[in-house]
Amino acid sequence: MPLERVISPELIDKLTCTRELDLGGMIRNLSLPKTSPIRERSAISSMGRMDILPAELVLFILHLLDFQALSRLLRVSRKAKTTVEALVAYRELREHAPDVLVALGKTRLLPYHSAALLRQTLRANRCVSCLVDFGAFLFLPTCERVCFECLHQNHSLRMTTLSIARECFHLTDSHLKTLPILHSIPGTYGVMFRISRRKVYRLVSVKQVKQLAIDVHGSTENVANLMPTSPPQGMTWRKSCIFKWFHEAPLEPPGCDLSRMPERSNLVEDDFGGMASIRMPCLSGTGADYGRLCKGCRLVNELHSRGLLPADVLEHLVPRGIRPSRPLRALTTRLYSREGFVEHIKTCYGANELITGWETEQME
C-alpha cells in the first residue's frame, strides 16, 4: 500500500469485518447478574479484624482474593462493599469484562483465579501459545489469553473428560481433584467444527492434566512410557488418536503461527471446542479493545477459492509445502488490536484491492 495513503478512522472501520461468523462458537450471550443493596441495621460499619490493618495492606490482600470471595465480602457490610468496589481490579473487570466473571462463575472456575491475575490478563494482549497474534479469547481453566487459530490447532488448549484424563495419563480421582474442573454450560459450540452439548460435562484442561501426570509419575519420560506403541485391544482408532495427541500436546508455547506449520496425520476434531473460552477485551490506556477482523483477508481467501489470487501473493502468504487453504483460512479468523490492524492493512493485499476499488468508484 502506498505510504502517502491516509489511513483514517473511517477507512479502518470500513475495512473491519463486522460479521464474525466463525468466532461465535465460544461461551456467549450470558445474562449479567443484578447487584443487590446492602441493608444495615446499625450505623456502624465494620470489616471485622481487617479494620486494624492499614488501608494499603487491606487492598493488597483483597487483590489476592478471587471474585467469589470478593462478592461474598462486599455483602458483609457497607464498609466492606465500599472497600471492595474501590479495588482497581474489581472495577475494571466489572466494567469491561462482566461476562467473563459470569462465565467463570457458571463453569465453577471463579475461585481459581485471583482478582490480580484476572486484571493482569485483562491488560495483556498476546496469545500465550503462538506469542504473536492478538489473544482475543480467555481460556478459562488457566486464565490465559489465546487466539482462535491456537484454540483450533494447539492440543494443550483442549478440554477432556475426567474419564479420558484418568485413562490417558493413569491418574486417580484424587489426583484430578487437585485441578480446576470446568462444569460446562449446555449449548452449541465449536472451533472450526460445530458441536451441540445439552448436558453438563465435567472437563479438565489437557495442558494441566499432562503437567499433573508429570508431577505424579516423576518425569516426562515416565509419562511418555504410559502411551502404548499400538492401541490396546478394544480401544477404538479415534480414542487411540486422542490419547496420542494429548500425550504430544506441548506444555511450552509453540511460539509460531500453527497454520503455517506442516500438517500432521490422524487429526481428531475437538469434542469440546469453545466450551472453555470466551471473548475478552484487552484494556489499555485507549480503552477496551476486542480486536478487528480484516475484510481484505476474507477477500484474499475468496480470491484463492476462485483461482484469482496472483501467484506471487500466494507464494508470500503460504510457505512452500503447506496446503494453502489452512493459512488462508486462518487469515479470516485472525483478530488484530487497534494498532496492529493499522499496520496490517498497510501490507494486506486484499485490503489494498478493496481500497483501490473504492477509490475508483469515487472517481467515476
C-alpha cell of residue 313: 501473493
Q: Is the confidence at residue 122, as pLDDT, over 70?
A: yes
Q: Is the confidence at residue 239, as pLDDT, over 50?
A: yes
Give exposure, 299-319, as e/b (b: 16+ Cβ within 10 Å).
bbbebbeeeebeeeebeebbe
Q: Is the confidence at residue 6, as pLDDT, over 60?
A: yes
Q: Is the confidence at residue 300, as pLDDT, over 50?
A: yes
Q: What is the pLDDT of residues 86-112, one digit of tens each?
A: 899 999 999 999 999 999 999 999 999
**What is the DSSP code string of 61-112?**
HHHTSBHHHHHHHTTT-HHHHHHHHT-HHHHHHHHH-HHHHHHHHHTT-GGG
pTM, full prediction: 0.91
Percent pLDDT > 90 in the chain is: 74
Q: Is the confidence at residue 33, as pLDDT, over 90?
A: no
**3-class DSSP state of 138:** strand
Read off the amino acid at residue 100: V
**CA neighbor of 33 nearest in space, from 66, 71, 70, 64:** 71
DSSP 4: T
Q: What is the pLDDT of residue 44?
A: 59
C-alpha cell of residue 224: 511418555
Q: What is the pLDDT of residues 34-73, one digit of tens each?
A: 765 555 554 557 777 777 788 888 888 899 999 999 998 8
Task: State the Cα–Cα distance between residues 98 and 32, nearest whole angstrom.
Answer: 7
Task: State the Cα–Cα distance between residues 209 and 200, nearest whole angstrom.
Answer: 20
User: Which whole number is the average pLDDT over 191-219?
Assistant: 95
Task: Identify any residues that bridge with 204 across adjacent strands, giving them in sequence order.
Answer: 160
Q: Is the confidence at residue 82, as pLDDT, over 90?
A: no
User: Which whole number is the average pLDDT over 24-37?
Assistant: 80
Q: What is the pLDDT of residue 39?
A: 56
Q: What is the pLDDT of residue 1?
A: 43
User: Which whole number is the average pLDDT over 136-151?
Assistant: 97
